[in-house]
Amino acid sequence: MKFTRLTCIFLLAASAAFAQTAADSTKPTAPAMSKSFDLAAIDTTADPCTDFYQYACGNWNKNNPIPGDQVRWGRSFSLLGERNRYLLWEELEAAAKSPKSELQKQFGDYFAACMNTDLVEKKGLAPLEPALKRIDALKDAKALGTLMGELEAEGSSAPLFNFGVEQDDKDSTKQIASVGQSGLSLPDRDYYLEDSKRFVEIRKQYVEHVTKMLTLAGDTPEKAAQEAAAVMEIETALAKESTSRTDLRQPENRYHIYAVADFEKLTPDFDYAVYFKDIKVGHFDTLNVATPNFFKALNELIAKEPVEAWKSYFRWHTVHAAAGNLPKAFFDENFAFYEKTLAGQKEPTPRWKQCTIMTDRALGEAVGQDWVKQYFPPAAKASMDKLVAALEKSLGDDIKTLPWMTDATKKAAEEKLALVRNKIGYPEKWRSYAALKVEREDLIGNLRRNAVFAREWNLGHLGKPVDEKEWDMTPPTVNADYNPSMNDINFPAGILQPPFFDFTIDPAVNFGGIGVVIGHEITHGFDDEGSKYDGKGNLREWQTAEDRKAFTERTDCEVAEYGGFEAAAAKGDVPAQKLNGKLTLGENTADNGGLRIAYMALLDTLAAQGKTIDDKIDGYSEGQRYFLGFAQVWCQNQTEQVARQMALVDPHSPGRWRVNGTVQNFDEFGKAFHCTKGQPMYPVSSCRVW
Ligand SMILES: [Zn+2]
């Protein structure tokens, strides 16, 4: 379990819904690939020195409206994601029809169970009955520990908090128990707490949605309305006591080691002993309590809310968690609120896509084995090794020349950089799924058994040595991440494809694509969060006080800069939504560092080839192609609802500001496009951390 520690390059927009009709006739088609460098995407009527994002992406954005089953549509991440999904679907479909190995039979059956919507319809709510009965039998709010333990033991949803095993922030060689806040059904605590007209309206619609879902589950409309009110009251109380995403980004705010007995005193009315026993976690004397205040408040809530309210809350969460895999009536209502109202999605995602995603999530290192054989040749790994080495060298060079850092801290930074580990493509050793039982005619049973399997896998790490070779992303994933406890950067095979990674194109474009992605991940080790961990992955200050102060002045510059950018413009009486400069600080720092060090690595590469940054291809200089290649990764359309939602929950800035924010902080951009000092993309003063 990770709270907010992993930092990746991209966050998928709100989860898309399952298309849930037997007559779902959408047949998969092979999606078109984006070009690594696309002249047709460019809006030549725009001035690159005024709005580079509009220049690099304007035509693409105009000509590529968001498809009905998407809420965010990007030239690189979305199209490559669609392609990888399609290729994986081909493999799953073949395995479902005629498996050639035990493993293929296992993931083929998992996929087939998901596709069988006729059976879903026939079973109705029956697969949830055991969980609903347990909830109904609750006699006393003080028995919530037993209820949650039993629900989790059978793989049903148990919402109140997250419990799992993770590396100790202060001793990364140890794997310890950790617990933290959870329990909400809206995307963020602000949805419960903000007083604006927009959120008041969303809350009203949410209560109506809960009422409808529980009516579908068989309750009278009057009872369902009472239940919805209780759900809203409990979730609002939990939201009030939840730590904000921004505060959780700071490692010290989520690190509080407690003796088990002291932790239990925070919530004396919740029987943790029975809960821990039910979920079969091994013995531990201490644990990390990420959000102690939440657990204190939970006790007041248990004492205050009547048992009927708790039953409503758990009943709602059980139906809600399964909604995408229940009959069409449930599915449609879930889609109408979560996807349509909250995210602006026009139509459900085709079933084949969602079953592909579901199977990849559950059995990723099983399906990934065949996938990488076909789509990730060994030569690609060797090329990536070289690129990563080039980027690490650039950051090393950059550290040496930093004007604000003392020599002692430079040395410590270089030591940390030397210890960064790289994981590229896919795991050396695949995870075993032998213990996961899959039945072709039991979708919800499979999901439940998988929940148990995944939990036992996680809890099995307690007290064991850390395995540096484990992966947290599946091979076809289009993403990359940095893990500060491991001090490693991870690039699944899924992102090591065109348009990110393309050796048929000139190095400038390739460095603007995958080069910046690599630079971004390495820089995460040195952003406001990552820089608090040392090279061994331990939370320990390695900067001098003087350097930390200078560092924070520089990050404050980015907080103010990005905090001024608009994620969504004002509309009618709904005010504009600005970005949260503190929430996005780590990602913005990584973007800025990544753009700078990939550029330096490109200069080295060109020099070695006897070329210069001013040489031209197709009318653009190498430097211009580099910045265009970078910007075109981020060409992106999104619904207004998602733009507003992501501004609250996503630590990444939207595409426009990932491009314009970084180029205006990097003078080489202004020089490459012959801008005049003082133009928006070539300002007189700008922010720089690394
Ligand atoms: Zn990132």
DSSP string, 38-82: -GGG--TTS-TTT-HHHHHHHHHHHH-PPPTT-SEEETTHHHHHH
- From the CA of 528, how far away is ligand 1's center (Å)? 12
- From the CA of 10, how far away is ligand 1's center (Å)? 7
Sign of CA dihedral 238, 239, 244, 248: positive
- From the CA of 386, how far away is ligand 1's center (Å)? 21
- From the CA of 159, how far away is ligand 1's center (Å)? 28
- From the CA of 172, how far away is ligand 1's center (Å)? 21
Query: How far, rounded to the nearest angstrom, does the alpha carbon of residue 123 sit from its chain's CA centroid?
Result: 33
- From the CA of 72, how far away is ligand 1's center (Å)? 18
Would you state the pLDDT for residue 15? 43
- From the CA of 245, how far away is ligand 1's center (Å)? 15
- DSSP-derived 3-state class of residue 688: coil
- From the CA of 8, how far away is ligand 1's center (Å)? 4
Would you state the pLDDT for residue 29? 81
Of the candidates 393, 416, 634, the one whose C-alpha atom is nearest the C-alpha of residue 513 is 634
Provide block-wise average pLDDT over 10 residues at a time, the chain (690 residues).
65 48 60 89 98 98 96 95 96 97 97 97 97 97 97 93 97 98 97 96 98 98 98 98 96 97 98 98 98 97 97 98 96 97 96 96 96 91 93 96 94 97 96 98 98 97 97 96 97 95 92 97 97 97 96 98 97 94 98 98 96 95 98 97 96 97 98 98 97
- From the CA of 419, how far away is ligand 1's center (Å)? 19
* CA distances from residue 93 to 116, 252, 355 in whole angstroms, order as listed: 13, 47, 10
Dist CA 331 CA 18 (whole Å) = 7
- From the CA of 477, how far away is ligand 1's center (Å)? 15
Would you state the pLDDT for residue 490? 96
Structure tokens, 227: 């239940």
Dist CA 446 CA 450 (whole Å) = 6
- From the CA of 594, how far away is ligand 1's center (Å)? 10
Structure tokens, 93: 């479909």
Would you state the pLDDT for residue 22? 38
- From the CA of 9, how far away is ligand 1's center (Å)? 4
- From the CA of 179, how far away is ligand 1's center (Å)? 24
- From the CA of 116, how far away is ligand 1's center (Å)? 37
Dist CA 110 CA 362 (whole Å) = 9
Termini Cα distance of the chain: 30
- From the CA of 5, how far away is ligand 1's center (Å)? 11
- From the CA of 485, how far away is ligand 1's center (Å)? 15
- DSSP-derived 3-state class of residue 480: coil
- From the CA of 11, how far away is ligand 1's center (Å)? 9
Q: Can you give the pTM of this predicted structure?
A: 0.95
- From the CA of 35, how far away is ligand 1's center (Å)? 23
Torsion of CA 387, 390, 392, 395, to 10 degrees: -130
What are residue 481's DSSP bridge partners? Answer: 8, 490
- From the CA of 271, how far away is ligand 1's center (Å)? 38
- From the CA of 522, how far away is ligand 1's center (Å)? 9
Helical axes 655-663 vs 622-633, angle rounded to 10°: 150
- From the CA of 50, how far away is ligand 1's center (Å)? 26
Dist CA 62 CA 57 (whole Å) = 9
- From the CA of 282, how far away is ligand 1's center (Å)? 34
- From the CA of 481, how far away is ligand 1's center (Å)? 6
- From the CA of 587, how far away is ligand 1's center (Å)? 5
Dist CA 293 CA 303 (whole Å) = 16
Phi (first) and psi of residue 179, to 5 degrees: -140, 145
Q: What is the CA radius of gyration of the chain?
A: 25
Q: Check residue 525 and report its DSSP letter.
A: T
Phi-psi region of 7 (alpha: psi -120 to 50; beta: other; left: phi over 0): beta
Contact between 97 and 105 under an 8 Å Cβ cutoff? The reply is no
- From the CA of 46, how far away is ligand 1's center (Å)? 29
* Tokens 């520990």 -> residue: 145
- From the CA of 438, how far away is ligand 1's center (Å)? 35
- From the CA of 309, how far away is ligand 1's center (Å)? 40
- From the CA of 268, how far away is ligand 1's center (Å)? 39
Torsion of CA 228, 233, 235, 240, to 10 degrees: 160
- From the CA of 378, how far away is ligand 1's center (Å)? 26
- From the CA of 555, how far away is ligand 1's center (Å)? 16
DSSP letter string, 332-397: HHHIIIIIIIHH---SPBPHHHHHHHHHHHHHHHHHHHHHHHHH--HHHHHHHHHHHHHHHHHHHH
- From the CA of 624, how far away is ligand 1's center (Å)? 24
Strand residue runs (E) in 416-464: 421-425
* Tokens 């580099």 -> residue: 626
Of the candidates 416, 581, 482, 470, the one whose C-alpha atom is nearest the C-alpha of residue 7 is 482
Helices (H), 513-584: 516-524, 545-563
- From the CA of 251, how far away is ligand 1's center (Å)? 16
- From the CA of 478, how far away is ligand 1's center (Å)? 13
- From the CA of 518, how far away is ligand 1's center (Å)? 10
Structure tokens, 398: 């950059």
Would you state the pLDDT for residue 4? 53
- From the CA of 588, how far away is ligand 1's center (Å)? 8
- From the CA of 42, how far away is ligand 1's center (Å)? 26
Of the candidates 405, 473, 584, the one whose C-alpha atom is nearest the C-alpha of residue 395 is 405
- From the CA of 520, how far away is ligand 1's center (Å)? 6
Dist CA 108 CA 439 (whole Å) = 10
Would you state the pLDDT for residue 503? 79
- From the CA of 650, how far away is ligand 1's center (Å)? 11
- From the CA of 412, how far away is ligand 1's center (Å)? 22
Q: Check residue 466 and report its DSSP letter.
A: P
Dist CA 285 CA 308 (whole Å) = 34
- From the CA of 585, how far away is ligand 1's center (Å)? 10
- From the CA of 467, how far away is ligand 1's center (Å)? 23
- From the CA of 450, how far away is ligand 1's center (Å)? 28
- From the CA of 480, how far away is ligand 1's center (Å)? 8
- From the CA of 278, how far away is ligand 1's center (Å)? 37
- From the CA of 266, how far away is ligand 1's center (Å)? 34
Strands 286-289 and 257-259: antiparallel
- From the CA of 315, how far away is ligand 1's center (Å)? 36
